[in-house]
Amino acid sequence: MLRAAIAAMFLLAIAGCSSAKAVVPLGAGSPSPTPTPAAAAVAVPEASAGPSAQIQIDYAHTDDWLEGVTVREYAGAHLLAGKRGLGGQAAIVRFEGGTPFWEIKADRGPGAALLSHLGANENKKYALKSLKYGVLPDGFTQVQPDGLPAQPLQTGRYYVFTVHRGSGSTSHQAIHVDDDGSIEGYDAEPMAGTSFSLCCNVTPGFASAGDSGDLGQPSEP
């Protein structure tokens, strides 16, 4: 089975379809041609010890910025179908559950939009290029959990990271924390309910076999 297990700290980047445990983007297309440094990351509060994931974020527009990130936890996953795409074999997976697990958002003042329209590069400081799970960057507020440390990622569980950008674009990454603490992740596209199309070449052990269901409508972000 194709697995390059990475215990504890794991770097996730999302740039189109990617294979298991490879660096994949939570990306929105071509990255910004002008690199912008990430805000200083501080633990406020810091997540408890456990497997960790760090996502890389890119932007299709140079003036775009990170509005927020949400993470949902799922207890299980079932493989519904597979399909061949340009980047390889994609898999349709239905996740069980969907509990809100972690959420942060940009703490922009009421004058931020006005300053941006006047030409001030107010958005640049929120255009993070990377984010480590459980660590609150400067200029952002933790919404979930409120006032408590982020919970550690649990072995055997699944998590879907959703990146929300100021332009309105979103991207998703689904990961599984293996029993040994290694993390397997794939680029994800929402389908019906809690189903996602994962790209690409999902390993057989990522999800259990399941019956196909209604795949017609996108899932909730």
**What DSSP string runs through 14-52?**
-SSS--TTS---B--SSPPSS--PPPPEE-TTPPPSS-E
This prediction's pTM: 0.73
Residue 155 domain-assigned? yes
Confidence of residue 209 (pLDDT cuts 50, 70, 90): confident
Quick one: tokens of 16? 């189109």
Return d(Cα 89, Cα 99) in angstroms, integer.
28
- Give DSSP secondary structure letters for 80-129: EEEEEETTEEEEEEEEEEEEEEEEEEE---TTHHHHHHTT--TTGGG--S
Residue 198 domain-assigned? yes
Q: Is the pLDDT of residue 143 over 60?
A: yes
Return d(Cα 8, Cα 49) in angstroms, integer.
9
Residue 185 domain-assigned? yes
Stronger pLDDT, 116 or 179, i.e. the higher one: 179
14 in Cβ contact with 25 (< 8 Å) = yes
Sign of CA dihedral 4, 211, 91, 75: negative
Q: How many domains does the chain have?
A: 1
25 in Cβ contact with 59 (< 8 Å) = no
Confidence of residue 112 (pLDDT cuts 50, 70, 90): low
Residue 192 domain-assigned? yes
Confidence of residue 125 (pLDDT cuts 50, 70, 90): confident
Q: Is the pLDDT of residue 29 over 90?
A: no
Confidence of residue 121 (pLDDT cuts 50, 70, 90): low
Task: Render pLDDT for 97-108 as a digit per residue (tens, 0 to 9).
Answer: 999 999 999 997
Return d(Cα 185, Cα 211) in angstroms, integer.
22
Stronger pLDDT, 83 or 181, i.e. the higher one: 181
Residue 218 domain-assigned? no
Average pLDDT over residues 128-138: 93
**Can you give the pLDDT at residue 2?**
38
Residue 4 domain-assigned? no
Residue 200 domain-assigned? yes
Percent of the chain with pLDDT over 70: 64
Residue 196 domain-assigned? yes
Q: Which domain holds residue 129?
A: 9-209
